[in-house]
Structure 1
């Protein structure tokens, strides 16, 4: 009998024990998997966001809309991931998702530049109204380039410039040509050329327009109206100061730029009291440290006079061609001394890491400076210790996905470094950089590419939107008021979309 029992045990018992062992192994494997997933989610930039039932409902709807959109593009064999923004723009504009994101409150635009915020066609049409506006229609020289616009007094027009209005009237096709000269399009993701050279030409072509005081006021009013229409309530401009002028009074002091902008903002606030503006005084990386010392002195003087408008200091221009942030270390060392002298603080909002090279080490400087926000930060992922420091210091990276593609830093936007930053808990915001140069207005396009290419959800969208106010340079009282408005707008948007979408 005992022998028979042992036989049954051998035949049936051991396999049972083996099954139990496998179940235990599977259970451990599953627990480890779930634990790792939980830990990864806890590290993400939006881990602190808890969605309401309404937001969860909207999230499911947006997930399905994106899923259907991707399925449709695949069915039509549209090369979604290997196309430039310019090629995709009509597809974006015709999508349901774009309609939704255009209506979404976007909080603040923290990274844009003077000279890049208003529609190029509007610039031409408005400049044309001024009889004193001229266009250079000759081959490039060391002084002027083809298509450059400017205001000149009669009898003082440089050789090669002709009346813009007369030129457009006599050559109907020139308007389209001029518009193209003010836009930067990346025609192909496969063909490389130095887009920065062409990029800078776009700013050169309007550089003589913006200081003309009558045009200056119109330009910024139109720019702010565009932002308000696109549900942007706050903007911070990397502003390169220049003396305004007109032909009646000549040149005005630098302060006039600020007071004129304040007047434009007040005009906008009559209908949109929530709208606000800050200026980040900007100079250039290609200048030497002595020149930057002088620029900092001017910036501190302006900030002392306009403490609620001037919010900080930046250096702009191509990082591959300019000086390193480290080369200005003596200037940064004098910031405390200047703060005591003028009685105001001047935080830095430096462009850093707008590069795909590990040899560009500008990003390393950021963790050691009073630099609460980083412009672009593309190569931050190559410096893991610095990335960890910036996360711990709670600094924000201002991400501009479309700009990064047009200028050639990222081709397939699925591979944008921001995806890694977000997963590793580095706080980010979505920005447009120079939308008028890239042929669009507002922030809807940048949110669209981020949502589609980075596989975001409503939780991530909400965090990105609210980050733009939390990390803005608004003072605490302004920030509090701005957040009250944004919360109300966000809740209204969620409710509206849930009622509209099936």
Structure 2
């Protein structure tokens, strides 16, 4: 009898072992699927359900990206080791870029005054003014080489020459001036160099923008470029200054707002849904007493222009300026200012534009009534703060190309936004200062995000609609903008499905 049982054991053993192994594999697979679903449920776009048409588009874009990457690999192009400036022509030649140009992008929520318009246009337009001059001497404590400005005849500082005459007499100077106005990562070696050169680009055009005739041309051009690139709403971190001309002298600060209102009306003639908000911006390097005055000014303008002024921010290099926490007394006075003026002025602060764990500005954001975060790169170093910000429903304005050119992210596959998105932090795609980086519009940033972050149509759609849903448009404006965006998005999906194989 024992021999019989032993024989059964020999026969059935392998079968039972296989069954146990199959059971183990089945449990492992079930756990794997569960883990995958848990990760998907946490992602920022978990609520998006694509239509059949959108799923078709998704397959087409996936295939086009795969083809593009295969072709660059075949040509031995080190795509991930090159900067934006180096691959810009490659982007422009791709089918994928033409599709993304055609894609409605909703809103541009993070850009700056002085950084929105093509520098070639800036030079060509400035030279039309006989009163425009360029500084062609070595840098000193007042002016830097290539700085542009308007002056009345007889009041031109030493070292400045007429721009048109300079460009006419020196065939190479226009290209040199373009290089001085565009920041490229390629020739910069460290963080300080990035920011020093970045700020020089702004300084070179800082004396152009307050000249009222040029101011109007500049923003008409910038908004038309954005509208052409399928951007329907823009929010500018705006540095307020007194506009002037040589006939009337200086104008009140509010003239910037009224001029921009008129410019928006003009843009709406061809783009009826175009809209604009201004985020009053001051500088991190000022002291709290100066910021008190800036906040007072911001509230006054918000009171007079409630539909145009939407919030308050502090800009400039976070490593060199004061921390958000150093202005805690200013933030504590916001409720008092709200009551005084009978309005609210939300904070849209830059925070975490840094690679350092010692920069804790994002920690302050989670403790302030600050719904939108400019950049938020180092938020991933503070996991509890990141979790709190997710639960608070706060929002991060991401600018991929800016982050690369300023040296925060070399290989955009490693951009911190990928961690934010997978952890359920809501974001939008922004261009920051495209004029300074040598491009126009928002399509380049979307292309970089789509290719480097391995996005799909679900993620693209969520990023696009986030830019309206988290904008500072009021509820009525937001509803109209979302309705329009839905229509544009559906038409885009249908068009690409019909025209792209």
- Does TM, normalized by the shorter one, top 0.5? yes
Measured on the aligned residues, the alpha-carbon RMSD in Å equals 1.0
For residue 4 of structure 1, report the CA deviation from its aligned partner. Answer: 5.1
Question: Counterparts of 1:219 and 1:382 in 2: how far apart (Å)?
Answer: 39
Answer yes or no: is the 8 Å Cα contact 1:132–1:153 preserved in 2.
Answer: yes
> Residue in 2 aligned with 1:107?
106
1:452 aligns with 2:440: no
Question: Counterparts of 1:5 and 1:459 in 2: how far apart (Å)?
Answer: 62
Answer yes or no: is the 8 Å Cα contact 2:116–2:222 preserved in 1.
Answer: yes
Cα displacement string for residues 91-130 of structure 1 (whole angstroms, at most 9, x for unaligned residues): 1111111011010000000000000000000000000010
Q: Tell me the matched-pair count.
A: 501
SS at match of 2:232: strand
Cα gap change, 1:320 to 1:388, in 2 (>3 Å): same
> Residue in 2 aligned with 1:285?
284
For residue 427 of structure 1, report the CA deviation from its aligned partner. Answer: 0.3
Question: Counterparts of 1:186 and 1:39 in 2: how far apart (Å)?
Answer: 39
For residue 12 of structure 1, report the CA deviation from its aligned partner. Answer: 1.1
| Correspondence 1:303-382 to 2 at 5 A | 303-382=302-381
> Residue in 1 aligned with 2:146?
147
Question: Counterparts of 1:435 and 1:250 in 2: how far apart (Å)?
Answer: 31
Question: Counterparts of 1:125 and 1:281 in 2: how far apart (Å)?
Answer: 29
For residue 370 of structure 1, report the CA deviation from its aligned partner. Answer: 1.3
| Correspondence 1:396-415 to 2 at 5 A | 396-415=395-414
Question: Unmatched 5+ residue regions in structure 1?
Answer: none
Answer yes or no: is the 8 Å Cα contact 2:378–2:416 preserved in 1.
Answer: yes
Question: Counterparts of 2:343 and 2:131 in 1: how far apart (Å)?
Answer: 41
> Residue in 2 aligned with 1:130?
129
Answer yes or no: is the 8 Å Cα contact 1:84–1:189 preserved in 2.
Answer: no
Question: Counterparts of 1:113 and 1:459 in 2: how far apart (Å)?
Answer: 29
| Correspondence 1:176-187 to 2 at 5 A | 176-187=175-186
Answer yes or no: is the 8 Å Cα contact 1:227–1:441 preserved in 2.
Answer: yes
> Residue in 2 aligned with 1:253?
252
> Residue in 2 aligned with 1:43?
42
> Residue in 2 aligned with 1:238?
237
Answer yes or no: is the 8 Å Cα contact 1:83–1:188 preserved in 2.
Answer: no
1:421 aligns with 2:423: no
SS at match of 1:150: strand
Cα displacement string for residues 318-376 of structure 1 (whole angstroms, at most 9, x for unaligned residues): 00000000000000000000010001101000000000000000010101111110000
Question: Counterparts of 1:87 and 1:154 in 2: how far apart (Å)?
Answer: 42
Question: Counterparts of 1:195 and 1:376 in 2: how far apart (Å)?
Answer: 17
More displaced stretch, 296-305 vs 192-201? 192-201
Q: TM-score, normalised by structure 1?
A: 0.99
Question: Counterparts of 1:106 and 1:52 in 2: how far apart (Å)?
Answer: 19
Question: Counterparts of 2:306 and 2:28 in 1: how far apart (Å)?
Answer: 58
Question: Counterparts of 2:76 and 2:396 in 1: how far apart (Å)?
Answer: 35
Question: Unmatched 5+ residue regions in structure 2?
Answer: none
For residue 3 of structure 1, report the CA deviation from its aligned partner. Answer: 4.3
Cα gap change, 1:189 to 1:452, in 2 (>3 Å): farther
SS at match of 1:109: strand
Question: Counterparts of 2:2 and 2:327 in 1: how far apart (Å)?
Answer: 89
> Residue in 2 aligned with 1:167?
166
> Residue in 1 aligned with 2:226?
227
> Residue in 1 aligned with 2:71?
72
> Residue in 2 aligned with 1:29?
28
> Residue in 2 aligned with 1:59?
58
Question: Counterparts of 2:348 and 2:237 in 1: how far apart (Å)?
Answer: 9
1:92 aligns with 2:91: yes
SS at match of 2:440: coil
SS at match of 1:194: helix
For residue 8 of structure 1, report the CA deviation from its aligned partner. Answer: 2.7
1:272 aligns with 2:257: no
Question: Counterparts of 1:38 and 1:74 in 2: how far apart (Å)?
Answer: 32
Question: Counterparts of 1:427 and 1:192 in 2: how far apart (Å)?
Answer: 28
Answer yes or no: is the 8 Å Cα contact 1:185–1:406 preserved in 2.
Answer: yes
Cα gap change, 1:320 to 1:191, in 2 (>3 Å): closer
Answer yes or no: is the 8 Å Cα contact 1:230–1:442 preserved in 2.
Answer: yes
More displaced stretch, 273-282 vs 191-200? 191-200
Question: Counterparts of 1:244 and 1:315 in 2: how far apart (Å)?
Answer: 21
Cα gap change, 1:429 to 1:190, in 2 (>3 Å): same
Cα gap change, 1:290 to 1:192, in 2 (>3 Å): closer
Question: Counterparts of 1:367 and 1:131 in 2: how far apart (Å)?
Answer: 51
Question: Counterparts of 2:3 and 2:360 in 1: how far apart (Å)?
Answer: 77
Question: Counterparts of 2:243 and 2:388 in 1: how far apart (Å)?
Answer: 42
SS at match of 1:159: coil
> Residue in 2 aligned with 1:440?
439
For residue 14 of structure 1, report the CA deviation from its aligned partner. Answer: 1.7
Question: Counterparts of 2:11 and 2:40 in 1: how far apart (Å)?
Answer: 44
1:392 aligns with 2:358: no
